[in-house]
Each structure stands twice: as C-alpha cells, then as structure tokens.
Structure 1
C-alpha cells in the first residue's frame, strides 16, 4: 500500500460510511481541474477502496454545484507538468484506467466537459443533475480526448450521436443523455447526492463478491466473443458459488432474515 498523499483530505475529500465511500473533488478555485495532486489522490483512493473490505460501493462527486470537473488543469500543462496529471496504473487523474473491481457511481452536478466528462465515463453508473451537461470539446482547441472519451462514448450511446459529440465538440444536456441511456438517474441538483446514496444502498446490501464478479463479466460484454464470455462467466460463477456468501444468502432467505455478508 502506497503512502497516503497529503492531497487526500484537501484537493480530494474521502470518507467511508455504511459500506459506501464518497470521493469529492475539491479544487473550487480551479473548477476541480485535475492537477498532479488530484491524480495522486485519486490513484491512492482507488488502491485504498480496493483494499478496504468495508467499502462495497464508491461515489465520485464534486464540491461545486456549477462544475463537476473542468478536466485537465491547463496551467499545469503550460508549465510542462502534463505528465503529473496521470499515474502509471490509473492513467489520467489516476483514475480512468485503474483496474477497479467495485462499482463506482458518478454523482454529477453542472458541467462535465473534456477530462471532466471522461471521469464519469470511467465509472459504472451516473446520477446527474437535470441542469448538467456532458461533452468532449477537445476538437475545438485542436487537441484530443485521450482519457477514454472517444471510445467510451460510442459504447454508451447510439453510434451516430456519439460521433456527433466527438466531431462537433458540442455538449449535450442531461435530459438528452438520460433519454439515450448514458445517465442512470436524473434529479434536481440538490437531490443528486441523495439519489446517488440511494443507488449505492441498493447495491451495498447485496453480496460484495457476487457484485464484483458479476460486474467483472458485465464490463467485458462488448470486448469478447460469446465463447470467451461463456468461459469468463463460468470462471466467475465458480468463484461465487464456492463462496461463504453463496451459502449465507439462501440460508438467510429460508430463515427470513437479512443476510450477513463476509465478502468471501
């Protein structure tokens, strides 16, 4: 386990309660733009949430109502510090490529543009305010959305719509993204965190190992052939069915009580 960066608790807030970790981007004066401190903090938090068996679901959110994240901190890039905005294991923000097994929910208020859009796209689910916007404006500046946006959007949206967003650089509002299925739940801005916690609670009551293994296979649905997916699914099923939780679930059901999960 790497040492906890000083930026955890400052540029990025982190707390765990009732099996749910809440990660809050907290650079309000920079519209939560990603610098080296944010990248190192998110990288450490990804590692910590994977290690901590008490964490079953993670919510990624922002301290601002007007902006989820402004993407890369351009002032850092102008100083020649672009490399510090990524980590070896997690890529941009220490996050977009990190191999996370637990479900992450993005709770988005305000603008989620450029790298600030690629962070929610790297999560498993999105709860968004009805006044939020999502987009990849990089082409308007002659640059490239290199943190996964150009291929994750087409996996989440109808092809032609995704290509329009990529090519024009124009954002789409939350209601349109909700209609198209990118957003799981859309609520007024003041209700975003409550709704994200409600979704997290629906997940956290389930068997942790079963959730992780099910997501492991579901995330690969577009990556492999059916034969490969049957193999991966069978391997996951073998792990889950041989677990203590697989015994506890049916036992709790028959005894008419809430299950006590061990996560193994």
Structure 2
C-alpha cells in the first residue's frame, strides 16, 4: 500500500499521517518544544491506539514537530495544578506503561528531556539526529522521573552512568547514548523521520502477527524468573501467529520466491 493518508489538521496538538504501511504520530506543540500537558498526553494516547487498531498500519513512528522530540512535562501546567493524566486508570493504561501491540519507532530531533526521554524509551526502536540532546533533569527541580526513565535506563546502560545522569540532570549527547546501545541509529540532523519511516517499511515486510508476538515476548521477558517459565509463557504469546494463515503464506512465498501477501493484520 503506497497511498498517503493525512487524518489531522495543523491546529491539532497531535498530528496523524499514514505513509504506505507506516503510521506517523507527531507531537504538535512546537512553540513549547512539544512539552506534555494533559491535552497532548490524551491526544497522543488516542492516536497511538487508533494506529494500533488500523489494519493499514504495520509499524508506527512517534516524533515531534518543530525540530524537537519532546522537552518533558509542561511545568507551567504542572504549576497550575494540571494532572499528568485525567484518571488513575488512564495512567495505568498509558503508552509509557503498556505500549501498543505494533512496533513503535521514535524519530528524535533536538531535545528529548525528562518525560520526553522517558517517552522515547517507551518506544521499541530509537533513531536520533547526531545533534539530539537527552537528559533526566527532574532532580534539579526536586521532581522524580517516574515515567519509566529510572526503570528502563539501568537495564540498557551501566548503573553508575545512569546514576550520574539522573542525579546531575545534565544533557547527554546522542553519541553517548548510541555508544551504550540505547539508540539504534544516528542520522544527519533533519533526517530522523525519513529514516524511521524507512525502518518501519522494513518491519512491515515481515508477518504482522509474528511481529506483534515478537514484540510482546521481548517486552515481557523481564517478568519471567526462569527459562522454563519463559518457554511456556512465550509459546502462549506465539501461538496466534504460528496458527495464523500467514504462517503458511510466509512459507509458500519463500518456496515460490515471491513477496508474501499478509492477511492477518
């Protein structure tokens, strides 16, 4: 599918677009460096859920408008008493905590700070400009990074490096995060979105139900305390894909040396 589809207007706090089989969700508060207020969080959640439910979309790119990914929580809104989420249930079901079924690729330009870095870490793959800046500056304001940064970064970087990063709150370069394996790819400034879409198109060539199962297993693997438990758990997650007609289609396409025609979207 090569048609483009735009489903939002420039005035929306979140923009949605579909390029081929890749959905694009864009945070759209550029004058505030896409800082997260309640309206933006809510609209982003709805957009990601819509992409997850859309059979035309096989991978999703999350990015920010105006040359920045996201500068974190809108502190002016926080000062005025606005909550991060409307309800506790919304917080429990948020993308930061539960993700979506399809792979999400962060396309990062400019700043990804505080909640913005945590949002990026919630994605499955990260592509960043070489000039992008990252950080967890919450402690400088007597805040705590409770959006996943203090949980996910120590699993991806050395403990002492993360401790310094979180306690000092200084900016960290894209080169440093790439060196530790936090970023998948570094690209030229302004090229993150194109590279993320291209990566999404590569993912879309694989079997959709197998991709969903693979993501679920990888994201859940830290929950399992033994290999025996892990093998049983992963089988339950893999069975819908293995029993899908697309499994036979994938084998037939390989034998017949043709592109597969996926139906289990």
TM-score (norm 1): 0.91
Alignment partner for residue 39 of structure 1, among 20, 38, 41? 41
Q: Which residue of 2 aligns with 1:247?
A: 248
Contact 1:111–1:133, Cα closer than 8 Å, also in 2: yes
Q: Which residue of 2 aligns with 1:157?
A: 157
Counterpart secondary structure, 1:89? helix
Q: Which residue of 1 aligns with 2:70?
A: 69
Give, in whole Å, the separation in 1 of the partners of 2:45 and 2:250: 34
Structure 1 residues 8, 155: closer, same or farther in 2, change over 3 A? farther
1:90-132 superposed Cα distances (whole Å, 9 cap, x missing partner): 559x431234111000000011110111110100110000011
Query: Is 1:211 the counterpart of 2:211 in the alignment?
Result: yes
Q: How does 1:189-208 map to 2 (within 5 A)?
A: 189-208=189-208
Contact 1:46–1:100, Cα closer than 8 Å, also in 2: yes
Contact 2:37–2:84, Cα closer than 8 Å, also in 1: no
Q: Which residue of 2 aligns with 1:3?
A: none
Q: Which residue of 2 aligns with 1:80?
A: 81
Give, in whole Å, the separation in 2 of the partners of 1:173 and 1:39: 26
Give, in whole Å, the separation in 1 of the partners of 2:194 and 2:87: 31
1:46-88 superposed Cα distances (whole Å, 9 cap, x missing partner): 22122112211110011122x2111111111111112447773
Contact 1:7–1:41, Cα closer than 8 Å, also in 2: no
Contact 1:117–1:136, Cα closer than 8 Å, also in 2: yes
Give, in whole Å, the separation in 2 of the partners of 1:158 and 1:256: 44
Counterpart secondary structure, 2:221? coil
Distance apart, 1:159 and its partner CA: 2.1
Give, in whole Å, the separation in 2 of the partners of 1:87 and 1:124: 24
Provide the aligned C-alpha RMSD in A: 2.0
Contact 1:43–1:90, Cα closer than 8 Å, also in 2: no
Residue correspondences, number: 257
Give, in whole Å, the separation in 2 of the partners of 1:112 and 1:9: 22
Counterpart secondary structure, 2:42? helix
Counterpart secondary structure, 1:88? helix
Counterpart secondary structure, 1:33? coil
Contact 2:27–2:44, Cα closer than 8 Å, also in 1: no
Q: How does 1:181-192 map to 2 (within 5 A)?
A: 181-192=181-192
Counterpart secondary structure, 2:238? helix
Return 5+ residue gaps in structure 1 as ranges.
1-5
Contact 1:35–1:72, Cα closer than 8 Å, also in 2: yes
Structure 1 residues 83, 68: closer, same or farther in 2, change over 3 A? closer
Give, in whole Å, the separation in 2 of the partners of 1:158 and 1:204: 33
Distance apart, 1:19 and its partner CA: 1.4
Query: Is 1:234 the counterpart of 2:235 in the alignment?
Result: yes
Distance apart, 1:171 and its partner CA: 2.4
TM-score (norm 2): 0.91
